[in-house]
Amino acid sequence: IFIDVETPVNTDHVPEYQALRSAVKSLSLELKREALVIVESTVMPGTMKNIVLPILEEETGLKCNEGFYLGNCPERVMPGKLLHNLRKMSRVVGGGTKETAELMAVLYGIVVEAEVDTSDWITAEIVKTAENTYRDVQIAFANEIALICEALGADVWQVRDLVRKSPGREMLLPGAGVGGHCIPKDPWLLASSVRDLSVPVRLIPAAREINSNMPNHIFGLLEEHMGDLDNKHILILGYAYLADSDDARNSPSKDLAKRIKEAGASIVIHDPYMKEYAGEVYKKAGNCDAAVLMTAHSEYKDIDLRRLKSAMKTSLVIDGRNLFDKKLASEVGIDLIRLGDSSTK
């Protein structure tokens, strides 16, 4: 039996397991002896031992590794690549015993064409939360370098290219924010696992703060170049959190839109992958005082900047994803402001 339910965190960044607890309790009413239960949801390290196991044993009256078997194999899927990732991504299976983990590896091997590594519950839990936390921290580093470049009069995109020429220095892309279901949440799952222990977690909260603040920084660029936003019209290009998808969960564009509205401006949203925001981008740009690119959809690479400028009331464009060509923008008269590039200010 596979359990795949949401495992969100609350406003205090503490895991909320209503769906998981409900699923496990419901399952307990129907669980047959010697069944193998596998939790695929991404959970706080320690969840299998401290939450799932006790509920199953209490509700069924059975003992783990005798009446039933328990394992976890955190999913590794993402919007637009679900079936591909199911087959091609390696998996980590955690078992209550070595034998359970080995059996799980055989089971997953029916579908998964990549490596299936065996481990215990806690290792599998940590691996999944750690890999997403690693990405969050690395993006935060890139974003902080972007902010430093803006302050010092440099271009983060050139800096990044040169840094990456040094072996092993694969600096990620800075950007207007980090969204989705996993990356904004999973670092807090990892940090929460030791909140009652004497482990001073400092890097993870700092990275989360940097990435969460990027939409505010983009808003600051708007204010810096427009002044008072009251009664202005702002075009937001891209509402999904992920390029070439319609997934808007925890989208940085939501945070930006909220700040713009609070400043007294109205917003126009364009996103070719979301029905409610689709349409001709130039038509939506009409009468707008500024445009802000928040999502690196492939379609936006083909925007005719000259036509965009003609449609807008002013020529201000803020690029939060380094999608527009700086030289071309200058040639057609676009006032392009790129994240992390003070030379375009």
Helix, strand, coil percentages in the chain from 3-state DSSP, rounded to 5 = 45, 15, 40
Catalytic annotation on 182? yes
How many angstroms from the chain centroid is the CA of residue 40? 18
The bridge status of strand 316-319 relative to strand 266-270 is unpaired
Inter-CA distances, 255 with 187, 239, 241, 245, 258, Å: 20, 10, 11, 18, 5
Residue that has been written with the tokens 């965009």 in this structure? 308
Backbone angles phi, psi at 185, to 5 degrees: -105, -45
CA distance 217 to 337: 12
CA distance 340 to 345: 10
**Catalytic-role residue among 64, 73, 149, 182:** 182
Q: Tokens at residue 211, please?
A: 């990435």
Radius of gyration of the chain (CA): 23
Catalytic annotation on 81? no
DSSP 272: T
**Catalytic-role residue among 128, 185, 284, 309:** 128
Q: Which residues are catalytic?
A: 128, 182
